[in-house]
């Protein structure tokens, strides 16, 4: 099972509406969490990407440690930097995910974010060559590679 929830009510509402339009509205629970089977994740994530795309050209940064997440959130607020928050749960894993604008990327480095990689670990494209880009402590993946992986998993 996978789940996600936007902390921004307008974004959460857009996600719920998008799921309803695909007859997946029952995945939205009363507390706002969207809970789905792994087999439904690509559809749910595609709708979530459409909602994210309405904000700004973005990348993710996430924390499993609540204290570090709060420190990063405080840094963003204190410096007037834009961000949106998502929560993700997969089995026993919980992450607070920051949706951050690429144009502020250099300002995020002051807080130790994002990790130093700016090249997709799979295809080698730079962050500015693609629409979406996600980083972790030691790797990065572009939206095109994520789409390719989803497509390959659907055809297997």
pLDDT tens for each residue of 101-114: 988 877 776 555 54
Report whether 45 contacts 34 (CB < 8 A): no
Based on the domain organization, do 46 and 64 belong to the same domain? no
Say what the pLDDT of residue 111 is.
59
Say what the pLDDT of residue 67 is.
83
- Rounded CA separation 150/135 (Å): 18
Say what the pLDDT of residue 109 is.
66
Based on the domain organization, do 27 and 7 belong to the same domain? yes
Say what the pLDDT of residue 115 is.
45
Domains held by the chain: number: 3
Say what the pLDDT of residue 75 is.
86
Based on the domain organization, do 25 and 47 belong to the same domain? yes
Give the total residue count for the chain.
Answer: 156
The answer to whether position 110 is within a domain reads no
| pTM: predicted TM-score of the whole model, two decimal places | 0.68
Based on the domain organization, do 95 and 119 belong to the same domain? no
Say what the pLDDT of residue 137 is.
63
The answer to whether position 10 is within a domain reads yes
- Rounded CA separation 105/114 (Å): 7
Based on the domain organization, do 120 and 154 belong to the same domain? yes
The answer to whether position 108 is within a domain reads no
C-alpha Rg value of the chain to the nearest Å? 16
- Rounded CA separation 32/106 (Å): 33
Based on the domain organization, do 31 and 68 belong to the same domain? no
Say what the pLDDT of residue 135 is.
73
The answer to whether position 109 is within a domain reads no
The answer to whether position 92 is within a domain reads yes
The answer to whether position 132 is within a domain reads yes
Q: Which residues of the chain have pLDDT under 70?
A: 109-117, 136-137, 156
The answer to whether position 12 is within a domain reads yes
Based on the domain organization, do 141 and 122 belong to the same domain? yes
- How do residues 123-152 score in pLDDT, each as one tens digit? 888 777 777 787 766 778 888 888 888 888
Based on the domain organization, do 47 and 70 belong to the same domain? no
Domain range for 135: 115-156
What average pLDDT is seen over the chain? 84
């Amino acid at each position: 099972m996978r789940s996600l929830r936007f902390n921004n009510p307008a974004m959460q509402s857009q996600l719920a509406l998008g799921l309803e339009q695909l007859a997946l509205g029952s995945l939205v629970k009363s507390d706002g969490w969207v809970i789905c089977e792994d087999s439904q994740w690509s559809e749910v994530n595609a709708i979530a990407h459409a909602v994210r795309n309405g904000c700004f050209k973005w990348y993710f940064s996430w924390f499993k440690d609540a204290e570090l997440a709060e420190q990063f959130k405080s840094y963003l607020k204190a410096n007037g930097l834009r961000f949106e928050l998502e929560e993700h749960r997969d089995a026993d894993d919980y992450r607070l995910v920051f949706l951050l604008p690429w144009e502020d990327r250099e300002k995020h480095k002051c807080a130790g974010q994002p990790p130093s990689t700016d090249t997709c670990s799979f295809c080698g494209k730079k962050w500015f060559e693609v629409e979406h880009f996600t980083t972790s402590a030691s790797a990065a993946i572009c939206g095109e590679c994520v789409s390719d992986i989803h497509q390959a998993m659907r055809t297997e």
